[in-house]
Structure 1
């Protein structure tokens, strides 16, 4: 088995006096789609933020392609988030003043791509995600499904090696959520992009190659897609369908 592209070991993180992670460890391999499931408050989003270099763990290590993310200066972390990482949040977090095409083009512009070329590439990615023709719309003029697909296009436009998706269908109805996930997984498979999915939805987790369950800030179970969940000590773990908000 190949070495992991991204590896976290014994992560501990507290928000003030409230523990969020209590020694969580997880691996993500190149091209793999990994779902992290668990109830609300289990530490899923904090784990994603540590893995993406958005926040630093209090203790523990995060290594990406041979670099210790938890030790990198902010300038290098920002560079990685522009080039190697794409992040999708539950509510998209599009810039409200920008049109769809300009939201998607923004990461390219920040990386130095000329404006005309950036907007052209952005239009191509909007087409991939089924929102071609919506280029001039601003976030307030889009449906939830359209906005989330624009967010997905923005996360993938730079050709990242890893996409971090935090509850990517949490604000969508079932049809829009299925369309967004289908587009994300198809594009990731096509480009060999690794995806870390944070979700409490068993239907979303079913898109993954592998699933890990987080409880009280610790990984308590891990299993391959289609395999029965089994705890680290060999005892049956709760299926992810029960890990709901």
Structure 2
């Protein structure tokens, strides 16, 4: 019997024909992308290629000038600011290069914050936050403030905060860009392990080939559009030994 072709997985997040300009600068020129449930997708490219703008459009942080962004069938580009903010509190987790923790709050309170904003009681939020701090190896730092953490510790706290609500998608914009090689490897390994355990999709923006190697697939942007195709190519597997050699 001739094997039947397997259908492509339905994307949890997709974009088509996105354009975005800032003044006379075209950041995106017809960009498109698809992210499957549980997939880790790396978006790479040179500085100024539109990587962060694409992530911001997909996460609903900014609205594209034209094109469509869909999350589980809902058009985010047509949604209001309140709805997009709600999704970033419930369904999306966002991690930036410098973590952006609230400096006045303790580590535990930083991770509790998304849960409290979502209406959870303090005691329940603290239990869940401590579980995620434990998973990222920073539970011992729960009572400290961000200024008392190392760069690697701070970024692992930011990752715990991004995952504590059980999001469907985590958007990570250069999550290891401010870290040294070892801290970056540790943060990425922890993020990938946690995402795989929970079935969370990750859209990862990076210029670092070692970070992109953690992804299932890679899309390269050039001048605001993917090359050679909008669907990207599988990332060659990299063993732990090879990663060690590269660091």
Write the distance in 2 (CA, Å) between the matches of 1:188 and 1:115.
25
Residue 190 of structure 1 and its aligned partner are, at CA, apart by 0.3
* 1:192 and 2:199 matched: yes
For residue 181 of structure 1, the aligned residue among 188, 203, 217 is 188
Task: Supply the distance in 1 between the matched residues of 2:85 and 2:66 (Cα, whole angstroms).
Answer: 21
Q: 1:135-190: per-residue Cα shift (whole Å, max 9, x none)?
A: 01111111100000000000000000000000000000011000000000000000
User: Which of structure 1's runs of 4+ aligned residues deviate more than 4 A?
Assistant: none
Residues 1:65 and 2:72 are matched in the alignment: yes
2:199 & 2:127 partners in 1: Cα distance?
22
Structure 1 segments unaligned to the other structure (5+ residues): 228-245
Q: CA deviation at 1:12?
A: 0.3
SS in 2 for 1:133: helix
The alpha carbon displacement at 1:3 in A equals 1.4
Q: Does 1:147 align with 2:154?
A: yes
TM superposition shift of 1:208: 0.4
Pairwise mapping of residues 1-245 of structure 1 onto structure 2 (< 5 A)? 1-221=8-228, 222-226=232-236
**Which deviates more, 73-82 or 175-184?**
73-82
User: What per-residue deviation string (whole Å, max 9, x for no partner) do you get for residues 48-94 of structure 1?
Assistant: 00000000000111000010000001111111111100000000000
1: distance between equivalents of 2:47 and 2:106? 33
Q: CA RMSD in A?
A: 0.8
2:167 is paired with a residue of what secondary structure? coil
Distance in 1, matches of 2:189 and 2:218, equals 18
* SS, match of residue 123 in structure 2: helix
2: distance between equivalents of 1:170 and 1:154? 18
TM-score by length of 2: 0.91
Give 1:2 shift: 1.6
Deviation digits for residues 198-245 of structure 1, max 9, x if unmatched?
Answer: 000000000000000000000013211218xxxxxxxxxxxxxxxxxx
Distance (whole Å) between structure 2 residues aligned to residue 93 and residue 15 of structure 1: 24
